[in-house]
Structures are given as structure tokens and as C-alpha cells.
């Protein structure tokens, strides 16, 4: 294994990644991407733009190169070092900062990799990072296990839509009861919130004519489901605008993007059952 | 200044031949929504129906509110906006803007409406030919409150102003939030600095900064500027004014951006300097099509105290740093910023500046253009409504007889004149002229008549001079 770790001067998360590598006795070459390794990293970045995200605050470090494999961010780097690609579904790029780690997708990984997941999250947590878990209801047992282990500080649940559309919107089969079970667990966690992205839905299989956005009534049904499952009409519930360009499903790329103003009707409908609904 | 403690209330002056006769509706302090005729006869009271403001719709319907949120937690938050019929039955209600759970109060939905709203069909909420507000359907634009945090403005919680459009079914279908447009307001660094430290702090609900205090909101409606290709004046665009910042602005309904603005600074161009500093203004709106002056901005420039800026002797911190002790009603060309018509202490016949504050309402108040060119002015703090001609003659005057029991003031927030035809339930009332009383001769029972019982001549006295000096100058050149 030939590991190269790009770090940045003063980067605390880079220190955590290096600590993990030392504990695992993993040899690596380190280059400070804003110091002596600036030129080298520039060259590396130009060759791997697709794998390295430049966010609003610049490039997040550390960045790990393991042969052709590139991982960015402390969680993704440690996950790769711990279990290779087996945790790729669970751990992605974090979009939160200032002491928090996000991109921890409870619903998108293979439950068989649970032991490795617990190991990675436990290491992050022991080193002072706060963990934001996200779920869409799948893998309810994984969520329950992680929270029982204290491996979560905030939980965000994406409610894809109403019961009848849920399986179609998650791209496979899912039992509404499992979503219900996740809702109950999330609502019982001290710091949590529920979200729905008002997204297009393929109403009929393989028929682009059948693609239509969630309607206000369908969002209201979703809010009602949330109320029924959690017994509360006061859940923190947020609606998001769908970004067609960021969606991996090619069928939705040509869908016209809604404006936040359009979502006002969805908010009004949702507030019939969840009074704190807002648009972000 | 000296104000009498005894004076008549009700209608005090009325020239039927020169008035635009109709009913007048207003919120009588702590009494309800009151409809009066030209002689001050109280045609109907919607008892304890609140209203900020109350407006009459064709068919004898009225818009108001069933109450306000406790001032311990909110400031001027109307619980709802309701439309009631002639018999007081609620036929439409909106309250679902925010679910409020105030300590010790029953949780409830609230509209948080304040200061203004507009029903589809009419852009400004008062009579204009062919622009009747809908009474049985249509959307309603509502000025509301929304609590926000915006560290670019202030590190404290803010009581923000929002404008929402709701449909007949009560769904919010459009929303504009003022703080989202902070950088479009033209506030200079001295104002921003002060605003950060003192956003007009209120104690309600644990403390909140009422930083803008938008107090009117209306649509532009069809107008000649837009017809000539100036998209800033699209009929759907919204004009508002904010008393704390001295800003009047037009918002593009499509983009939400501010496309026209007057204030907060009135010293940046020759046109603005000629206009003078508008302070704490109310009811800025575009005179609707079909009325004399259509397309001009009509505003009640209160004076008083408002604005954020640098300290001066009247404002040691720079908070409310613009001061003036009289009011002005201005009709302004929105493109040239020329004053087309005005009613100030001078036009009111008051010696300027020594007697100027006899036309003065430092808060509330309004102006409505009438079809015959007259203007109905609510000089709110003193509970006075007057109708003045284009030549500035007062042809109708009414003083509210309703002083609050809790707040001992006979204030009128905003009055509206409506045509008789909008109240089909009753016969048109008689119109009886009220002649102007010669106050130099008017005496109450027990008071002596004017005139000395004995007059003596004093040798050597000179006649009074027309240019006699006072302790302060009276200079027409200084007048507004």
C-alpha cells in the first residue's frame, strides 16, 4: 500500500487522520498542500478534479491517495483505511464543519459492514468530532444501534414523500413500517429534524411523461404521516428545493427547477399537520 | 405648544358642495370599527372588531381583526385578518402564517398581520373608479411580522417585516422578507453600525429589534410609468414605507429585489435635498389610476423622530437622529422626485415655523386622494380627519370623540372615505352643512363674551407693526 496524505497547515481533522494511521501502523507520505506540497497538490488536484470537491470554504482536507483511489475528508479517509470501499455507502463527503462531521448516510450502506462503521464513528467521536447522521428510513436497525452506542449527536431524517410513493422514491423496496420505525427513533433523539426535498417522482415506470413534482397534498400526506408516527404536530420539519443538476438520476436532469416561492403552497399544506414547517 | 382642553368632537366643519361625500370608516380607539356619515353620524359600529386598518368593501363588508397578540410576547401582531359582513358574520379569515405558543396562552395560529393588507381588485385599498376590491373571492396581500436572526444586521433577534400573498383558501402563495434585502436598503456605515447596536429594541418576548417597522404596503396598480416602459413600476410591484429607517421602496414582485427607493438619506442629490428629509412616514402609496394625481406617490411625512445615523445634539447616539416637529403630506413624482402638491403647516394657514406643530402627528396617519381632487388626511395622533381641496381649503373636519380607557388618546390609525353605494343596506344619509364657527366669538355657558367692558386711550402709543420681531424668525423662505 502506498498512501499519500495531503494535509493543510493547522488542520485539526488532518491530525485526527494521521493519528488513526499511526495507531493502525500505516505508513504514509504527508504533503502540506498549502506549504511545501502546494505545487505537488496542485498537480494532483488537476488530475483528480472529479474526486475532490471544492466547497464554499475551499477544499476540505485531508485528502488521501491510495493508488487510484482518492478520498476526501476525515471520515471518508478513515473509512477507506478501515474497510476499503465497504463503507462507501455509509460515509460520503461532509457538508458541515466547525466541529461536526456529516455525510454519514445511515440508509445508504450495507448493514453487514456495521462493525466497521461503528469503529470509524467511534474513532471520530473519541477525537472530539460531533456526528450528524442522516437517514431516509432505511436501515432502521443500523440507526437504532448507532444511537444506542452514542454514535450520533444530531439526526436528520429525509422523508422522501408519502407512504404510497416511498418505495418508488427510494429506488427500491422499503416497508413503510421501517420508515415509521426510523421516524419514531429520530423523533425521540434530542437533536433532530425532518426534511423533505420537494422532488420529481416517476409516476409510471420508464415513462418520462409521468415525472411530476410532489404536490402540496402529497407533502401534506407526508407531514400527516410524520404526525401520526411521532404523535406530534410540532416536529422541526423543513422543505427543500430539488436541484435537478445535482441529482444522479438522469431522468430528472431536464426537470425544471422550482423556486422557493413555489414551495409556499407545499408549506401551507404541510402546516396543516406540522405547524413548524419552514422552507430552506 | 398650547392646545385647548375643551373643544368640540365629532364633525366640526362640512361643506357638502365641495366635499367628495360618502361614508368614512376608521378604528375608534378601544371601541371598534366605526362607520360615520359626513355629519359624524355613527352609521354602524362593528363592536370591538380591531383593525389596522379597517377597510370597507363593496356590499357593506368590512375587513379587520378579531384581536391582537399579548404585548408581553409580540408587538402589533394581529391574530388574524377577517372579513365580516354587514351583520358582523365572519365570511373569510386568515390566520395560518405562524403557529404561536406564548407562555400562559393557548397555542394558536396567527396571521401576525400589522399595519396593512390589500384585497385583489384594488391596489391601494381605497376607492378608485373601476378598481373595486373583490368581496367574495381573490387573493389578499398582507403585511406581517416574522422573527428572524440575521447577523449581518444585528446579533440580536429581529422583529422583521414580511409581505405575504394568501389566496381565498388561506394558502400562503408568495412571501417577501425584508431582512433578505438588507444590502439593497442604502443604509450608510454610520447607520449600519448603530443599527447593529440598537435595532429599535422592544421588550416583547424577551427582547427583539423592530428594526424597520414597515407601516404600509400596497400595490402600484396600472400606471403611466409602466405603460411608458419603465418596468420599475410594474402594476404588480409593491410599495412600502418604514418609519424607523425613513425608507420608502418599491419591490419587484417577480424578483423580490428593491427597484426604486426613497431614503434613508435625503442629502445625496439636489432632488433629494429639495424634497427634504422624510421622517417616520406613513401610508406611502401610488395614487391609483382614475384619480387626480394618478401615478404620483402620496405620503404622510410625519416628522417626529426616526432614522439611524450619526449622533447630533438631538440624538446623542444617532438613534432616531432625524427630528422635526411638524408633519407634511407630500405628493411626489416618482421619477423626477418633484413635489407636485403638498399640505404642510404653511398650506394649513399656520405661521411657520412658530405655529407649525399645530399640523403634526408624530406617528400613524395617512392621506387618501379622492375622485374630485380633494385629499382625506388622517392626522392620527390627535384623532383628526380632514378633507382638504387641491387649493388647501378644509371642507370637512372630524375629531374622534373616542379616547381609550387604557391608552388615553383619541388616535385614529388610518381613515378611509368610501362611496355611499358600497353600503347598499341603508339609505343615503342627509347631508347638512356645518358652518365654520368663529372661535373668536364662540363661548361656553358661563364664559364672558369677547370685548373689554371699558377701554381707555393711552397717549403716544404707536400702531402694531406688521413686521414685528418674535424671539424666533418667521421666514417664508424657510417654510417647507
Of B96, B99, B171, the CB nearest to A265: B171
Whether the predicted pLDDT of B477 surpasses 70: no
The chain A residue lying nearest B164, using CA atoms, is A264
Task: Check pLDDT > 80 for residue A93.
Answer: yes
Q: Give the rounded percent of residues in chain A with a pLDDT score beyond 90.
A: 76
Digit-coded pLDDT (tens) for B145-185: 999 999 999 999 999 999 999 999 999 999 999 999 999 99
- Closest alpha carbon within chain A to B99: A275
**Spatial separation of the C-alpha atoms in residues B51 and B141, rounded to whole Å:** 15
Gap between the Cα atoms of A59 and A34, Å rounded: 11
Q: List the domain boundaries for chain A.
A: 85-279
Tell me whether residues A261 and B174 touch, CB distance under 8 A: yes
Please check whether residue A275 touches B, CB under 8 A.
Answer: yes
Which one, of A57, A74, A96, A60, lies nearest residue A18 by Cα? A74
Cα–Cα distance between B380 and B392 in angstroms, integer? 19
Q: Where is A180: in which H helix or E strand?
A: helix A176-187
* Residue tagged 414597515 (cell numbers): B214
The answer to whether B141 and B217 are in contact (CB under 8 A) is yes
Give me the pLDDT at residue B18, please: 98
B243 to chain A, closest Cα gap in Å: 28
User: Within a 10 A sphere around the Cβ of B441, how many other Cβ atoms?
Assistant: 9
- Give the Cα separation of B29 and B404 in Å (integer): 5
In CATH, A85-279 is 3.20.20.70? yes
> Given CB atoms, is A229 within the 8 Å cutoff of chain B?
no
Q: In whole angstroms, what is the distance from residue B477 CA to residue B480 CA?
A: 8
| H and E: helices and strands count for chain B | 3, 31
Give contacts of A216 with chain B, Cβ < 8 Å. 171
d(CA B213, CA B264): 13
Domain made up of B10-445+455-478: CATH architecture: 6 Propeller (2.120)
Minimal C-alpha gap between B171 and chain A (Å): 6
Residue B195's SS3 state is helix
- H or E element, residue B216: strand B214-219
* C-alpha cell, A35: 506549504
Query: Which residues of B are less than 8 Å from A269 in CB distance?
Result: 171
Which of B163, B166, B175 best probes binding to A when mutated, by most A CB atoms within 10 angstroms? Answer: B175
**Sign of the alpha-carbon dihedral angle for A159, A161, A162, A163:** negative
Per-residue pLDDT tens for B294-342? 999 999 999 999 999 999 999 999 999 999 999 999 999 999 999 999 9
Contact B417, B38 (CB under 8 A): no
- For B365-411, the pLDDT digits (tens) are 999 999 999 999 999 999 999 999 999 999 999 999 999 999 899 99
3-state secondary structure of B291: coil
Rounded average pLDDT over B426-435:
97
Are A8 and A34 contacting, i.e. CB atoms less than 8 angstroms apart? Answer: yes
Query: How many angstroms separate the CA atoms of B266 and B275, rounded?
Result: 8
How far is residue A248 from each of residues A118, A204, A243, B445, measured CA to CA in Å? Answer: 28, 19, 10, 90
* Domain locations in chain B as residue ranges: 10-445+455-478
Q: Of the candidates A98, A70, A87, A96, which has an alpha carbon nearest to the alpha carbon of residue A121?
A: A87
- Which helix (H) or strand (E) segment holds residue A264: the answer is helix A263-270
Question: Within 13 Å, how many C-alpha atoms sit on residue B413's CB side?
Answer: 22
Tell me the ipTM for this assembly.
0.71
To which residue does cell 363592536 refer?
B47
**A241 interfaces chain B, CB cutoff of 8 Å:** no
More confident residue, B128 or A211: B128
pLDDT of residue A43: 94
The secondary structure element, H or E, covering residue A187 is helix A176-187
Q: Cα(A255)–Cα(A245) distance, rounded to whole angstroms? A: 9
Separation in Å, CA of B106 to nearest CA in chain A: 15
Number of residues assigned to chain A: 280
Rounded Cα distance between B244 and B199, Å, is 9
3-class state of residue A31 by DSSP: strand
Across the interface, which of A216, A264, A275 has its CB nearest the CB of B175?
Answer: A264
Query: Considering Cα of B36, then B37, then B42, then B47, what sign does the dihedral take?
Result: negative
- For residue A219 the three cell numbers come to 407533502
Identify residues of B whose CB sits under 8 angstroms from chain A CBs: 96, 99, 109, 170-175
Q: Is the dihedral of CA B396, B402, B403, B409 positive or negative?
A: negative
**Using only C-alpha atoms, what is the Rg of chain B?**
23
Interface mutation vs chain A, best among B172, B176, B253, B255, most A CBs within 10 Å:
B172
pLDDT at B340: 98
Q: What is the pLDDT of residue A205?
A: 62
CB distance A280 to A198 below 8 Å: no
Residue among B107, B144, B96, B137 at smallest CA distance from B120: B137
For range A71-100, the mean pLDDT: 91
Provide the grid cell at B319.
438613534
What are the distances in angstroms from CA B476 to CA A184, B338, B347, B389, B458?
76, 19, 12, 22, 34
Contacts across the A-B interface (CB distance below 8 Å): 25
Beta bridge partners of B218: B239
pLDDT of B476: 53
Rounded CA-CA distance B288/B296 in Å is 8
pLDDT at B469: 72
Check CB contact under 8 Å for A264 and B170: no
For B264-311, strand residue ranges (E) read 282-286, 297-301, 304-308
Rounded distance, CA A23 to CA B177, Å? 52
Residues of chain B contacting A234 with CB distance shorter than 8 Å? 99
**Predicted confidence (pLDDT) at residue A209 exceeds the cutoff of 70:** no
Which residue from A264, A269, A275 is facing B174, i.e. has the nearest CB?
A264
Question: Residue A275: its chain B contacts at CB < 8 A?
Answer: 99, 109
The whole-angstrom distance between B242's CA and the closest CA on chain A is 24
Those residues whose C-beta lies under 8 Å from the C-beta of residue B152, and which sit 6 or more positions away, are B182, B183
Q: pLDDT confidence of A251, banded at 50, 70, 90?
A: confident
Tell me the pLDDT tens digit for each residue of A151-194.
999 999 999 999 999 888 887 778 889 999 999 999 999 999 99
Q: For chain A, count helices (H), then strands (E).
A: 9, 14
Spatial distance between the Cα atoms of B367 and B239, rounded to a whole number of angstroms = 15
Check CB contact of A258 with chain B, cutoff 8 Å. Answer: no
Least-confidence region, from A49-53, B159-163, B383-387, B440-444: A49-53
Position A250 scores a pLDDT of 82
Identify each DSSP E strand in B365-423 by its residue range: 366-369, 375-379, 384-388, 394-399, 416-418
User: In angstroms, what CA-CA distances link B317 with B199, B244, B355?
Assistant: 12, 15, 29
Summarised one tens digit per residue, pLDDT across range A131-159 is 999 999 999 999 999 999 999 999 999 99
- Give the one of B109, B170, B173 whose C-beta lies nearest to A264's C-beta: B173
When pLDDT is averaged across residues A252-272 and rounded to a whole number, the result is 91
**pLDDT digits over B446-471, tens only?**
999 999 999 999 999 999 988 777 77
Across chain A, the runs of DSSP E, i.e. the strands, are 3-7, 28-32, 54-55, 58-59, 63-66, 69-72, 100-105, 130-135, 154-158, 192-198, 200-202, 211-213, 237-241, 278-279
CA dihedral sign, ordered B390, B391, B396, B400: positive
Chain A residues whose CB is inside 8 A of the B171 CB are 216, 264-265, 268-269
Q: A155, exposed or middle or buried, with CB in 10 Å at 0-12, 13-18, 19+?
A: buried
Q: Are A280 and A264 in contact (CB under 8 A)?
A: no
* Cα A136 to Cα A145: distance, rounded to the nearest angstrom: 16
Q: Under an 8 A CB cutoff, do A264 and B109 touch?
A: no
**pLDDT tens digits along B247-304:** 999 999 999 999 999 999 999 999 999 999 999 999 999 999 999 999 999 999 999 9
Amino acid at each position: 500500500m502506498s498512501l499519500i496524505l495531503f494535509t493543510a497547515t493547522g488542520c485539526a481533522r488532518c491530525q485526527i487522520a494521521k493519528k488513526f494511521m499511526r495507531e493502525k501502523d500505516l505508513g504514509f507520505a504527508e504533503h502540506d498542500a498549502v506549504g511545501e506540497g502546494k505545487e505537488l497538490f496542485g498537480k494532483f488536484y488537476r488530475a483528480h478534479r472529479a474526486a475532490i470537491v471544492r466547497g464554499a470554504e475551499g477544499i476540505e482536507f485531508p485528502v488521501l491517495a491510495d493508488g487510484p483511489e482518492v478520498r476526501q475528508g476525515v471520515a471518508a479517509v478513515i473509512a477507506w483505511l478501515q474497510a476499503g470501499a465497504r463503507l462507501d455507502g455509509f460515509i460520503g463527503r461532509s457538508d458541515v464543519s466547525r466541529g461536526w462531521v456529516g455525510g454519514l448516510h445511515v440508509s445508504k450502506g450495507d448493514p453487514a459492514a456495521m462493525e466497521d462503521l461503528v469503529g470509524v464513528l467511534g474513532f471520530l467521536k473519541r477525537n472530539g468530532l460531533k456526528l450528524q447522521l442522516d437517514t431516509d428510513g432505511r436501515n432502521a436497525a443500523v440507526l437504532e444501534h448507532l444511537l444506542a452506542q452514542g454514535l450520533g449527536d444530531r439526526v436528520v431524517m429525509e422523508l422522501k414523500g408519502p407512504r404510497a410513493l416511498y418505495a418508488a422514491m427510494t429506488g427500491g423496496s422499503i416497508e413503510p413500517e421501517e420508515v415509521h420505525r426510523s421516524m419514531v427513533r429520530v423523533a425521540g433523539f434530542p437533536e433532530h429534524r425532518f426534511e423533505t426535498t420537494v422532488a420529481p417522482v416517476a409516476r409510471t415506470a420508464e415513462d418520462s411523461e409521468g415525472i411530476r413534482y410532489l404536490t402540496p397534498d402529497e407533502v401534506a400526506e407526508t407531514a400527516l404521516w410524520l404526525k401520526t408516527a411521532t404523535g406530534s404536530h410540532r416536529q422541526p420539519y423543513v422543505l427543500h428545493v430539488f436541484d435537478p443538476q445535482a441529482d444522479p438520476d438522469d431522468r430528472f436532469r431536464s426537470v425544471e427547477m422550482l423556486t422557493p416561492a413555489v414551495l409556499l403552497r407545499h408549506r401551507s399544506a404541510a402546516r396543516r399537520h406540522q405547524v413548524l414547517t419552514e422552507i430552506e | 405648544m398650547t392646545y385647548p382642553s375643551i373643544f368640540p368632537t365629532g364633525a366640526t366643519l362640512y361643506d357638502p358642495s365641495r366635499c367628495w361625500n360618502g361614508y368614512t370608516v376608521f378604528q375608534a380607539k378601544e371601541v371598534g370599527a366605526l362607520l360615520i356619515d359626513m355629519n359624524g353620524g355613527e352609521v354602524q359600529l362593528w363592536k370591538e372588531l380591531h383593525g389596522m386598518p379597517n377597510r370597507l368593501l363593496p356590499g357593506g363588508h368590512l375587513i379587520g381583526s378579531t384581536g391582537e397578540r399579548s404585548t408581553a410576547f409580540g408587538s402589533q401582531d394581529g391574530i388574524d385578518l377577517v372579513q365580516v359582513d354587514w351583520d358582523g358574520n365572519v365570511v373569510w379569515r386568515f390566520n395560518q402564517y405562524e403557529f404561536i405558543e406564548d407562555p400562559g396562552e393557548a397555542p394558536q395560529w396567527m396571521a401576525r398581520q400589522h399595519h396593512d393588507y390589500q384585497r385583489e381588485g384594488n391596489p391601494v385599498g381605497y376607492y378608485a373608479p373601476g378598481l373595486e376590491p373583490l368581496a367574495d373571492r381573490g387573493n389578499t396581500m398582507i403585511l406581517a411580522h416574522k422573527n428572524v436572526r440575521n447577523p449581518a444586521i444585528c446579533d440580536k433577534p429581529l422583529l422583521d417585516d414580511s409581505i405575504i400573498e394568501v389566496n381565498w383558501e388561506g394558502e400562503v402563495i408568495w412571501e417577501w422578507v425584508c431582512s433578505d434585502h438588507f444590502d439593497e436598503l442604502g443604509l450608510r456605515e454610520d447607520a449600519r453600525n448603530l443599527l447593529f447596536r440598537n435595532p429599535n429594541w422592544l421588550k416583547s418576548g424577551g427582547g427583539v429589534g423592530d428594526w424597520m417597522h414597515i407601516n404600509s404596503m400596497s400595490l402600484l396598480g396600472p400606471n403611466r410609468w409602466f405603460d411608458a416602459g419603465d418596468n420599475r413600476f410594474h402594476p404588480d410591484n409593491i410599495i412600502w414605507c418604514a418609519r424607523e429607517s425613513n425608507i420608502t421602496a418599491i419591490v419587484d414582485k417577480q424578483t423580490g429585489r428593491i427597484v426604486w427607493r426613497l431614503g434613508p438619506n435625503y442629502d445625496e442629490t439636489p432632488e433629494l435635498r429639495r424634497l427634504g428629509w422624510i421622517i417616520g412616514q406613513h401610508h406611502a402609496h401610488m395614487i391609483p389610476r382614475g384619480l387626480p394625481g394618478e401615478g404620483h406617490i402620496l405620503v404622510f411625512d410625519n416628522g417626529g423622530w426616526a432614522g439611524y445615523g450619526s449622533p447630533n445634539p438631538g440624538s446623542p447616539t444617532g438613534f432616531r437622529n432625524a427630528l422635526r416637529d411638524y408633519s407634511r403630506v407630500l405628493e411626489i413624482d416618482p421619477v423626477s422626485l418633484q413635489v407636485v402638491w403638498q399640505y404642510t403647516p404653511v398650506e394649513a394657514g399656520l405661521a411657520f415655523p412658530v405655529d407649525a406643530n399645530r399640523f403634526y402627528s408624530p406617528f400613524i396617519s395617512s392621506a387618501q386622494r379622492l375622485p374630485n381632487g380633494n385629499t382625506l388626511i388622517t392626522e392620527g395622533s390627535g384623532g383628526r380627519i380632514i378633507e382638504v381641496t387641491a387649493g388647501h381649503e378644509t371642507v370637512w373636519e372630524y375629531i374622534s370623540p373616542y379616547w381609550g380607557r387604557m391608552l388615553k388618546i383619541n388616535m385614529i390609525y388610518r381613515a378611509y372615505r368610501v362611496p355611499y353605494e358600497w353600503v347598499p343596506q341603508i339609505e343615503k344619509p342627509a347631508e347638512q352643512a356645518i358652518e365654520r364657527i368663529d372661535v373668536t366669538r364662540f363661548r361656553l355657558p358661563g364664559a364672558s363674551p369677547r370685548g373689554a367692558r371699558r377701554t381707555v386711550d393711552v397717549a403716544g402709543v404707536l400702531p402694531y407693526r406688521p413686521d414685528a420681531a418674535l424671539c424666533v424668525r418667521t421666514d417664508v423662505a424657510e417654510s417647507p
